[in-house]
Amino acid sequence: MLGLSTFLPKDPFNLVVLAVGVLSIFVLATFAVAFKPKGESSTFQAYLKFAYACFLKPHTGDKHGDQQDALESFYKAQADVYDATRTRLLKGREDMLGLVAAQLKHRCEAGLISQRPVWVDIGGGTGHNVEQMGKFVSVPEFFRSVYVVDLSPSLCEMARKRFTRLGWKNVKVVCQDARTFRLHEHEPQAHQRKEMISQGQIVRDLDENADAGGAELVTMSYALSMIPEFYPVIDSISSLLSPNGIVGVVDFYVQSRVEFNRRNYTGGAINRHCMWISRVFWRTWFEIDRVNLEAARRDYIEYRFGTVLSINARNHFFGVRMPYYIWVGCSKDSGSSTTKLAEIDAAATESPYLSALDLQTGHVPTDVEVRSKAYESAIVNLQSSLPLPATWYQNHHWRIHYDETLPKHTRFNDSYIYAFTWEDDRADARLLKVTPDDVVLAITSAGDNILSFCLDAPRRVHAVDLNPTQNHLLELKVAAFTALPYADVWKLFGEGKHVDFRDILIKKLSPHMSSNAFQYWLKAGPSVFEKESSKGLYHSGGSGNAIALCGWLFRILGLTADVQKLCAAQTLNEQREIWNRSLKGLIHSKLLSWTVFSNEKWLWKALGVPPAQRAVIEADFKKNAAEFDTATAERTSSGNAIYEYVLNTFEPVVTTTLLSTSNHYYLLTLLGHYTPSSHPTYLSPKSHVKLSRPSAFNGLRIHTDEISEVIARMRPGTLTIVVVMDSMDWFPPTGNQAVKQIRALNRALKVKGRVMLRSAGLEPWYLRTFEECGFSCKRVAVRVPGACIDRVNMYASTWICTKETSLKREDVKLNLRKSSMGELTIGAPALR
């Protein structure tokens, strides 16, 4: 078969002539299409006309230095094909519209804005955005007025034709410089409001800036990068926007992490950094078409307004990756009132809320100096005239601000370890008996038990985890209960799959999530929940590795059918028969013990067993072996200890609990999903009714930090219940880490407050430390051979440590001082 090189000339001169000829043909074809009479054009013809206008046609609008002339010179020749050629080039427009529509609907329902808001689309061009908004809301019915503001007469004419065709009477096209557009010149309510405010005053640039007549939505879609004088345009948005209004921007950008690395108000920086070659190339390329990508445009709008949501993405356009961003913001002052700051801080630290009357009368508690890190960051920003961190501008204040750039957070590499929780919530409820007066602090893990606590409706639930993505998972669940019907919640967290995940994330969940969590799930969620090749949520994260290995072993050994039968068994006798006949041999396999249970890396990454906890298991094994045979105890290997522990865990579960109806923990690990007859408490229809109520999560606060850091910033004597799972096992017996945390727990708990913990040991070494620090310790459950301690049966013992006396203040201060000096580092307990 002949190659192309066979027909090409060999002489370099002839090659140049051929190249010029091909280019000439392309240019002539482009000019021919460009000057073709207007009418219906094919996609190919539209792109040729686009190429002519962007790269070949001379710019003739610079003669008078007028921006309108320059725009008309660029757009007039391509106005009729503008929409056809921008669909693939200008990505993110529909996502931005979906996000702002969701925000508006939420604020309308909350009574924060007018039931029929006003929308100003700056640089609206042909009106494409307004028509696309129809996918999310009914534009004629939802909006009182829509203003499409653009400086190009040609594009404005296309917009007028569009809305005439659609018959939308509430949309007005204004051909005007965005710097001078004022809503009071068009809206009667805004005009009346301005006259009322301006009476007897010298007015320089007063617009409505109030609910009566203000714009509840201002958008810019790929317009900010084309406005030469962008500072006054951004400034003018403040005069257009109502106090509770929303701003939405989508545009190209390039930026280096050096420029934004120290900012805490940008709402997260996932994928924000662009490589040097990308920055240089795209700046140069877009300047040909008068599109300016200097960082100041995005920086200034983030400085002038508060960030609600921020997204950084790449448009895969003809084999290249073009960076673009979506930003949703609000008034810079909407979250910064002293009252609001104080109320949120009081909830995060359990400190009393100080009203103006308290301050005037002098009734100030002695521990008022206790402040959260979020409050301190807010004060620093306000003193520097910066916007507050993005968490302060959310519609809900569940998530407490944290510094995402700290190494203690970044070391998790944006990945959660646990996609499900290995703690029996039914046992927790029976032992703790939570009341409406309780203030609970618990490790987040996958959030299942946090939701179970919320079902009991205590006064406050503090969820704590050092891994940001574990808290992102909890946020996703909370948002789902807040915004979705039961069927969607079940698909997400019962089946672990949802084919429309990205769509519901943007349209329904986004108003109920922090910017960091939203960015994470927009990036990671589609591949977890809706990708066809994905097996779902419970096959993701570190715990998903364990499920994947189990499935692999079952397939290799031909046990998949028996696993399915085991999970479907309707009686214990049937379940035991399948287990004894088929699956029991796998657990007793010495090969499994050697490859898995003796492998320290596997235990940590998949099963979540750190070295210190492994040592607790080995110590108990040696102790029990020594009671029967000293020589055997001396020969004990780590693998034997773990093997014996796992055997004592699984065997009683299969022989005493029915997986298909009452033990969803092991059903999940075998199937990779829950079933309608076997699932966590929070996934029942009855639980959805409770958790979908507007006030269900009012008392929830999600902290991204170590337990010790969170309780050190809480008002002394305010917590009533602390659940630390098995995290105390993670401390090494040497050092002061356990002492530090136990002392801090004593300080934060009320007298008779309780710490519930589980341990892989029968009598863990740190119980004596609890007793030395003012606690009485009681073992409330213990695992014995052949029986289950609870449905999980993963731990050897469960303890409740009750605070009997408070430590001396001097001891606590000394302990906290050591912590601040960096002598002690605690990370492990908050991983779960």
Provide the percentage of residues in the chain whose pLDDT is more than 90.
Answer: 51
**pLDDT, greater one: 655 or 368:** 655
Interval 599-611: pLDDT, tens: 555 554 555 566 7
Q: Read off the pLDDT of each residue in 162-180 and give the average, rounded to a whole number.
A: 93
pLDDT confidence of residue 2: 43
Is the CB of residue 144 less than 8 Å from the CB of residue 117? yes
Residue keyed to tokens 């508690």 = 365
Cβ neighbours of 528 (radius 10 Å): 22
**Residue 423: which of 763, 793, 691, 797 has the closest Cα?**
793
Q: Angle at CA 124, nearest 5°, toward 122 and 129?
A: 120
Q: What are phi and psi of 149, to 5 degrees?
A: -110, 120
Q: How far apart are CA 727 and CA 718, in angstroms?
A: 22
Q: Three-state secondary structure along 494-522?
A: HHCCCCCHHHHHHHHHHHHCCHHHHHHHH
Interval 268-290: pLDDT, tens: 889 999 999 999 999 998 887 77
**pLDDT, greater one: 521 or 581:** 521
Q: Please name the CATH architecture into which domain 417-498+683-830 falls.
A: 3-Layer(aba) Sandwich (3.40)
Is the CB of residue 509 less than 8 Å from the CB of residue 476? yes
Is the CB of residue 144 less than 8 Å from the CB of residue 98? no
pLDDT for residue 246 is more than 70: yes
pLDDT for residue 683 is more than 80: yes
pLDDT confidence of residue 189: 66
Average pLDDT, the chain: 82
**Residue 800: which of 753, 737, 762, 761 has the closest Cα?**
753
Indicate the domain borders of the chain: 19-84, 88-331, 338-386, 417-498+683-830, 541-671
Which residues touch 202 (CB under 8 Å, ≥6 apart)? none
Which amino acid is it at 357? L
Helix axes 638-656, 664-671, angle to 10 degrees: 110
Q: How far apart are CA 450 and CA 114, in angstroms?
A: 35
CB-based burial of residue 590 (10 Å sphere; 0-12 exposed, 13-18 middle, 19+ buried)? exposed
pLDDT confidence of residue 350: 77
Q: How far apart are CA 642 and CA 632, in angstroms?
A: 16
Which amino acid is it at 345? D
pLDDT for residue 19 is more than 80: no
Q: Read off the pLDDT of each residue in 208-221 and give the average, rounded to a whole number.
A: 72
Predicted TM-score (pTM) of this structure: 0.84
Interval 689-747: pLDDT, tens: 999 999 999 999 999 999 988 998 888 999 999 999 888 988 888 888 899 999 999 99
CA distances from 43 to 55, 289, 348 (A): 18, 21, 56
Which amino acid is it at 756? M
Which residues touch 53 (CB under 8 Å, ≥6 apart)? 34, 74, 75, 77, 78
Q: How far apart are CA 183 and CA 258, in angstroms?
A: 38
Q: Which residues pair with 121 in a beta bridge?
A: 148, 219
Query: For the stretch 222-254, what's the b/e string if a residue is b when 16 or more beta carbons lie within 10 angstroms of its beta carbon?
Result: bbbbbbeebeebbebbbbbbbebbbbbbbbbbb
Is the CB of residue 53 less than 8 Å from the CB of residue 74? yes
Order of strands across the sheet with 749-759? 700-703, 460-464, 439-443, 719-723, 749-759, 797-803, 775-782
pLDDT for residue 13 is more than 80: no
DSSP 8-class letter at 315: E
Structural tokens at position 82: 């503008």
Q: Please name the CATH architecture into which domain 88-331 falls.
A: 3-Layer(aba) Sandwich (3.40)
Q: Read off the pLDDT of each residue in 248-268 and give the average, rounded to a whole number.
A: 92
Interval 316-350: pLDDT, tens: 877 788 999 999 999 988 766 666 777 777 777 77
Which residues touch 72 (CB under 8 Å, ≥6 apart)? 61, 152, 153, 154
Q: Which residues pair with 307 in a beta bridge?
A: 329
Strands 305-317 and 320-331 come out as antiparallel
Which amino acid is it at 724? V
The end-to-end CA distance of the chain, in Å, is 62
Q: Which secondary-structure segment (H or E) carries 331?
A: strand 320-331
Residue keyed to tokens 């028969």 = 577
